[in-house]
Structure 1
């Protein structure tokens, strides 16, 4: 049994949220104009039509129009604008 499997069993046994134990990202989407990301690692790219965010598991790619990072802290950010797509990519910094 590897380390991730052990963590998974502990989370299940203790009935704790995965984001707490595994530091997984939590994404909350409110309608088509607001998105919050918790537990991210960094901002890779930021334009008014594309925002790429690095997480522990890979990248989150947000596309839309008039995108804006409303605020960000060390572990949370809020994106606003006309959201058109959200894409997940495993691994680190794919092109």
Structure 2
């Protein structure tokens, strides 16, 4: 078994034994969607592309693509960002 697979299995076991949320142990992103107009992303690494039609966000495990119209990053901190606009789709790309 590859080292990464073993590491992922260990993290999953720690998560289940401790009862701690995945985002804490695994560093997983948390995405909250409010209707079609607000999106909150926690645990991201950086903004890769930012236009009024496309926002690409890099996370630890994947890339998130937000597609829509009049997209705007209302705010971002080291921990969270808020995207508003007419959100048409959210895609996860490796």
TMscore range, shorter length: over 0.9
SS in 2 for 1:62: strand
* TM-score between both structures, scaled by the size of structure 2: 0.93
Residues of 1 paired with 2:10 and 2:57: CA distance?
Answer: 28
Q: How does 1:1-80 map to 2 (within 5 A)?
A: 2-80=6-84
Structure 2 unmatched ranges of 5 or more: none
SS of equivalent to 1:3? helix
Q: Which runs of 4+ in 1 moved over 3 A?
A: none
Aligned residues between the structures: 90
Q: CA RMSD in A?
A: 0.9
Q: Distance in 2 between matches of 1:51 and 1:38?
A: 15
